[in-house]
Amino acid sequence: MLDGELHIIKRAVEGDSSAFGQLYDHYQPKIYRFTLVKVSHREEAEDLTHQVFLKALQSIGSYKDLGFPFSSWLYRIARNQVVDYYRTRKETVRIEDTDPDEMPEKHPAHDKLADKIEIERTQKALRKLKPEYQDVIMMRFVEDLPIRETAIALGKTEGAVKLIQHRAIKELKKTLTENH
Amino acid sequence: MEDIIKQLKKLQHIEPDRLFTERSRAALFGVQKSRGTWGLILRNVELGASFALAGILIITIFGGFSTWRFLSPFKLSNLDTTGLKAEAQAVDVQIELTNLNYDEIINTVNLESTESVSALVKNKGKSAPLPLFEQEEGNVTEGSVTEAEEISDTISIEEALEMLAK
Amino acid sequence: MKLKRVWVVGIFFVLIGLGIGNLARAEECILNKSVFEGLQQTGDPQSYLQKIRQELSLRKELISSVLDCAIEEASALKTSVDASSAPELQRIALEISTLLGNSMEYYKFQRKKIPDLGLEGSRDFASDILVWRKGNYIPVAKTASNIILWSKNQALMRAAKSRLDQIGGAVTILKLIENDRIQNKWKEANISFDAARLENKSAVQSFENFAHPEETLASIKRSLEYLSKTYEVLVNLVDEISKLTSKIQQPYENSF
């Protein structure tokens, strides 16, 4: 959560574009990372990220925290955008069916080569998981989203999220071990 | 477990391309700016219309037109509160149905005793031990005591199969 | 043994109750009277073998009845899903309808095996049907139920939108008169309705993503709750408008 987020959101809702800009700066990398796990190319992740914020900007005027934290709202939009993306693309192959090795990924330059390799390995393993597992892992462990906000974003109970996260980590561990 | 989490945290190093971010930002707030201009135009039009309407209202209120009663935008007989309340009630009934469905889902998963399903059915005054069926409107009855007692002896298909499996 | 017979007769009685008051429970779910009469006439069986035979016969009848009920349930659900008219869910409704049809075929196929069951076999049979039902049929039935519910809700959403449009006209005119209460209530009603619409759409996404039925139902429920809140605010708003306009109209009427 951004410092003073509630106040920033309030200003954004009232039409203050600099306030929305602050929200954009804080959440854009998170949404980008989230979509990157789900799509094959960086360019597509960028497109999706842009669409997410465009939609958010268009509906910010009617946003109100009716039990919907802003982060959860944004992740919901992101999830829906990913679904729309798969529905409208011409190729019918789904992300879960593809071999992650066919999706070469360029990461921004990173100092340590070992870390870079590890990041790629982790991403590939993540892509092999069920979408639901990917969502929980990205939100909870990469983006440090609290359980409540994750649950709301996914439309699940907190108990369900805890169960999914346990299973997801187990599955990820298994995948990483198999591919080592 | 900790190793995996450490590994996952490294994904935080993934950042979008700076050029993309700049272009995206410009496009978004450029869109907003143009909407802002359009919004300004709309607001001016709205303001003009407001003044015109205000003038009409002042004339009709204080000018004493007898047609006021018929032309008045304040005539709310078409804002039928009875109809509004009936619609609100229809929504509440639908929520009840949703609750029943929800409770039934939980009870189906946790089928441990016949009492849970029977109590649910009894309390809702509905006859279905198969609440997966939505009740048609008008067929929802409160049920007499006798009916409720009869109903509480009913069991779901799952319960019947469980008993037959013993 | 006596206790067991009482238990078995008990199932018979309660299964009779399955036919009471449920629309979906057509003739198939009402137990055959002649079977019941046959049970009453059994009296005290003479031998252990007779007891086994009677119990087996009874079990077969009960399993048959339960499967008939299951078929009827799936059939009624299928009919309702087919009748639900929401274009947004056409594709998913068709899939669910097909799956319900497959479930009916499964039950019918299993039903054919009943005559060949032994006592122990009948228990295993019931257990297998139960496992299949929990794993295959129940998730489909829950989704079907959600489809029917969601489809019905669209009429409520449209009605609410109509109301908002209707009341919106009066509120716009009233903007000329400084009345924060009315304007704030109007804003509140719109926020609630927007939230209802968002959840309504979220439910469609859940359907399309084949999310857990509980997740979809939660979205459907939340959209209805926001809709209920919208109406709550609208009722208050119309009351406020009525009070305000009667104050304005009174001096006018009194001047005559």
Percent of chain A past pLDDT 70, that is, above it, reads 80
Q: What pLDDT, on a 0 to 100 scale, did the predictor assign at position B78?
A: 53
Structure tokens at B85: 């309340």
Enumerate residues 6+ apart whose C-beta is below 8 A from C206.
A155, C215, C216, C219
Q: Which of C35-49, C144-158, C198-212, C241-255 has the lowest mean pLDDT?
A: C35-49
Check C160 against B87: CB less than 8 A apart: yes
Element (H, E) at C226: helix C213-254
In a domain, residue B5? The reply is: no
| Chain C residues touching residue A64 (CB < 8 angstroms) | 191, 195
CA distances from B154 to A17, A93, A174 (A): 61, 48, 46
d(CA C17, CA C133): 21
| CB contact B11 to C (< 8 Å) | no
Domain boundary among B30, B46, B75: B75
Q: Are C25 and C66 in contact (CB under 8 A)?
A: no
Same domain, B35 and B58: yes
Check C70 against B163: CB less than 8 A apart: no
Q: Which residue has the tokens 């980590």?
A: A169
Structure tokens at C20: 């009471």
Q: What pLDDT, on a 0 to 100 scale, did the predictor assign at position C9?
A: 46
pLDDT tens per residue across span A19-39? 899 999 999 999 999 999 888
Identify the CATH class of C153-254: mainly alpha
Number of domains making up chain B: 2
Q: What pLDDT, on a 0 to 100 scale, did the predictor assign at position C194?
A: 94
Burial of C88 (0-12, 13-18, 19+ CB in 10 A): middle
Tell me the mean pLDDT in the region C157-184: 82
Structure tokens at B65: 């037109």
Q: Are A155 and A144 in contact (CB under 8 A)?
A: no
Helices (H) and strands (E) in chain C, counts: 8, 0
User: Which amino acid type is present at position A103?
Assistant: M
Of A76, A131, A156, the CB nearest to C202: A76
Check B79 against C170: CB less than 8 A apart: yes
Q: What pLDDT, on a 0 to 100 scale, did the predictor assign at position C179?
A: 74
| Chain B residues touching residue C149 (CB < 8 angstroms) | 94, 97-98, 101, 134
- Nearest-10 Cα torsion for B63, B64, B70, B75: 80
What average pLDDT is seen over chain A? 80
In a domain, residue B1? The reply is: no
How many Cβ atoms from other residues are within 10 Å of residue A146's Cβ? 15
What DSSP character marks residue A16?
-
Q: Which residues form the domain of B92?
A: 81-165
Phi, psi dihedrals of residue B125, rounded to the nearest 5°: 65, 20
d(CA C209, CA A118): 31
d(CA C217, CA C142): 9
Tell me the mean pLDDT in the region C88-104: 89
In a domain, residue B112? The reply is: yes
pLDDT tens per residue across span C117-170? 998 899 999 999 998 998 889 888 999 999 999 998 999 999 999 999 888 887
In the stretch 12-31 of chain B, residues with CB closer than 8 A to chain C read: none
* Residue C63's pLDDT band (cuts 50, 70, 90): very high
Q: Which of A93-102, A108-117, C118-127 has the lowest mean pLDDT?
A: A93-102
Q: Which CATH number fits domain A5-178: 1.20.120.160, 1.10.3720.10, 1.10.1740.10, 1.10.10.10?
A: 1.10.1740.10
- pTM > 0.90: no
Percent of chain C past pLDDT 70, that is, above it, reads 77
d(CA C122, CA C54): 13
What average pLDDT is seen over chain C? 79
| CB contact A156 to C (< 8 Å) | yes
Residue B140 or residue C82, greater confidence: C82
| Chain A residues touching residue B14 (CB < 8 angstroms) | 29, 32-33, 36, 107-108, 119
Of B8, B10, B32, the CB nearest to A57: B32
| Chain C residues touching residue B49 (CB < 8 angstroms) | none
Same domain, B88 and B66: no
How many Cβ atoms from other residues are within 10 Å of residue C206's Cβ? 24
ipTM of the assembly? 0.77
What is the maximum alpha-carbon separation in chain A? 51
Same domain, B124 and B148: yes
Of A66, A80, A87, the CB nearest to C195: A66
Nearest CA in chain C to B92: C228
Q: Is 60 exceeded by the pLDDT of residue C26?
A: no
Using only the alpha carbons of chain A, give its radius of gyration: 17
pLDDT tens per residue across span A58-83? 777 767 655 568 888 888 888 888 88
Enumerate residues 6+ apart whose C-beta is below 8 A from B64.
C252, C255
Question: For each of chain B's 166 residues, which pLDDT tens digit applies?
Answer: 778 888 898 888 888 988 889 888 888 876 544 444 444 444 455 555 555 555 555 555 545 444 434 434 445 545 667 888 888 988 988 888 887 765 564 444 343 333 333 333 334 433 333 334 333 333 333 444 444 444 455 678 888 888 888 7
Residues recorded for chain B: 166
Same domain, B146 and B95: yes
Enumerate residues 6+ apart whose C-beta is below 8 A from C98.
none
Q: What pLDDT, on a 0 to 100 scale, did the predictor assign at position A176?
A: 87
- Nearest-10 Cα torsion for B26, B29, B31, B36: -150
Same domain, B88 and B65: no
What residues does each domain of chain C span?
2-148, 153-254
Burial of C39 (0-12, 13-18, 19+ CB in 10 A): middle
